[in-house]
């Protein structure tokens, strides 16, 4: 495996949440490791569950596009909402675009505020 992926794996094993996100990105794009979308989703989920906003956004993208997980725009909107609630402008924009394009703006807004 590549040196960066190896170091991210060590950081993740030591509890570094950002290390999880970087390692997940390596798996998602096949950088330094064999591409594995399912492993990328697993790692993004671990970091997202710990409240990491980029992981929430990246996992949302996976759900939005159906990459490594079944396509689920409702779950994508929920994850974007979690990230947006942490004042991350990029996720807020993705959340707004997704909810409007999915025709579920009213429902998703309720989900966002319930989180």
Query: pLDDT digits over 12-27, tens only?
Result: 999 999 999 999 999 9
Which of 41, 50, 106 minimizes the C-alpha distance to 82?
50
Instruction: Round the average pLDDT of the chain to a whole number and report it.
Output: 81
Query: Helix or strand or coil: residue 31?
Result: coil
- Assess whether pLDDT exceeds 80 at residue 102: no
Q: Averaged over 28-51, what is the pLDDT? A: 96
Query: Helix or strand or coil: residue 104?
Result: coil
Which of 25, 110, 94 minimizes the C-alpha distance to 57?
94
**pLDDT-derived band of residue 114, with 50, 70 and 90 as boundaries?**
very low
According to the model, what pLDDT value does residue 51 have? 92
Q: Which helix (H) or strand (E) holds 63?
A: helix 53-65
d(CA 90, CA 58): 11
Report residue 73 as tokens.
Answer: 């725009």
Query: Helix or strand or coil: residue 51?
Result: coil
- Assess whether pLDDT exceeds 50 at residue 58: yes
- Assess whether pLDDT exceeds 50 at residue 105: no
Q: Averaged over 70-83, what is the pLDDT? A: 91
Return the DSSP state at 53: H
d(CA 76, CA 26): 21
- Assess whether pLDDT exceeds 80 at residue 109: no
8 Å CB contact between 34 and 45: no
């Amino acid at each position: 495996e590549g040196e960066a992926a190896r170091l991210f794996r060590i950081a993740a094993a030591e509890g570094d949440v950002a290390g999880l996100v970087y390692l997940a990105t390596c798996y998602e794009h096949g950088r330094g490791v064999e591409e594995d979308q399912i492993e990328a989703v697993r790692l993004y989920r671990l970091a997202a569950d710990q409240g990491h906003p980029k992981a929430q956004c990246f996992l949302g993208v996976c759900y939005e596009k159906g990459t490594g997980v079944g396509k689920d725009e409702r779950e994508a909107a929920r994850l974007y909402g979690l990230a947006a609630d942490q004042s991350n402008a990029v996720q807020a924009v993705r959340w707004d675009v997704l909810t409007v394009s999915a025709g579920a703006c009213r429902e998703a807004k309720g989900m966002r505020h319930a989180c």
